[in-house]
Amino acid sequence: MMVKDAKRFRGTDGWGWARWRDVDLKPYGKDAAFVKECTGCHLPVRGDDYVYTLPISSASVQGREVLDNAASRLPQGLQVNPLDWTPVTVYSDPQKHTISVLFDNSKEIGTETVAADGSEMALVTWTERDDQHWFGARIADAVVSVEIVRPSASNETEYRMFGGEGVARVDANATKAARVGLIASLHPAQIPWGDSLGPAMRSK
């Protein structure tokens, strides 16, 4: 994990590092050598702020490709930008070669379910493309679909679907129940925190 904070991590070019290993997520790294190991591995992309994978952004940057602009081009008719919301979980479909991220606009996300009355969730799905910075890695490319769900305790769940050619609004009544059920069943990804942080992050 990389955490960007110019004030907390001034001594390591603004980056804090953490790593866990094995299925039981054992904290890795016990001294300052851990930070050198991380920064040494990322040194080839120092010109890209030590980041290998292109971040999704609509910002315009001169020069070589350092941002994933294609993935940020969401449909005009959304009237909201889910990319500004909190990412909840991510999954990929190796058969369709797509990657999907679930976003939530509520301030607090429960550990049991992401559905919360009054909040909105958006499942954004992209095609994948090769990451030019990391051999074998795949990153988001063009938007395939955006599904927006507004849960309600009164069972009047609102569902909007954007997809197809031009990623326009489509009539999805036939699949609404199944898609809402899928989105509501997705659980937040859990990230080890607290004492599991690398020494550079714990010390700050």
Q: Are residues 164 and 125 part of one domain?
A: yes
Q: Are residues 79 and 20 part of one domain?
A: no
Which residue(s) pair with 85 in the sheet?
A: none
Q: Are residues 173 and 196 part of one domain?
A: no
**Whole domain around residue 12: which residue ranges?**
2-55+191-202
Q: Are residues 141 and 115 part of one domain?
A: yes
Q: Measured between alpha carbons, how far is 26 from 183 in angstroms, rounded to an integer? A: 31
Instruction: Look at residue 158 and tell me if it is in a domain.
Output: yes
Instruction: Look at residue 60 and tell me if it is in a domain.
Output: no
Instruction: Look at residue 33 and tell me if it is in a domain.
Output: yes
Instruction: Look at residue 160 and tell me if it is in a domain.
Output: yes
Q: Measured between alpha carbons, how far is 144 from 152 in angstroms, rounded to an integer? A: 26
Measured torsion, CA atoms of residues 148, 74, 71, 39, in degrees rounded to the nearest 10: -80
Tell me what pLDDT residue 129 has: 92
Residue 22 in tokens: 């094995």
Token look-up 């051999």 returns 135
Instruction: Look at residue 91 and tell me if it is in a domain.
Output: yes
Tell me what pLDDT residue 58 has: 87
Instruction: Look at residue 22 and tell me if it is in a domain.
Output: yes
Tell me what pLDDT residue 153 has: 65
Q: Are residues 195 and 167 part of one domain?
A: no
Q: How many domains does the chain have?
A: 2
Q: Are residues 144 and 167 part of one domain?
A: yes
Closest Cα partner for 196 from 48, 20, 77, 50? Answer: 20
Q: Are residues 117 and 32 part of one domain?
A: no
Q: Are residues 48 and 74 part of one domain?
A: no
Instruction: Look at residue 63 and tell me if it is in a domain.
Output: no
Q: Are residues 196 and 163 part of one domain?
A: no
Instruction: Look at residue 64 and tell me if it is in a domain.
Output: no
Tell me what pLDDT residue 49 has: 84
pLDDT in tens, the chain (204 residues): 888 888 988 888 889 888 888 877 788 887 778 888 888 889 888 888 888 888 898 888 776 778 889 899 998 888 889 999 989 999 999 999 999 999 999 865 444 444 444 589 999 999 999 988 777 888 999 999 999 998 776 667 889 999 988 899 999 889 999 999 999 899 888 765 544 444 444 433
Tell me what pLDDT residue 154 has: 67
Q: Are residues 28 and 9 part of one domain?
A: yes
Q: Are residues 16 and 36 part of one domain?
A: yes
Q: Are residues 85 and 158 part of one domain?
A: yes
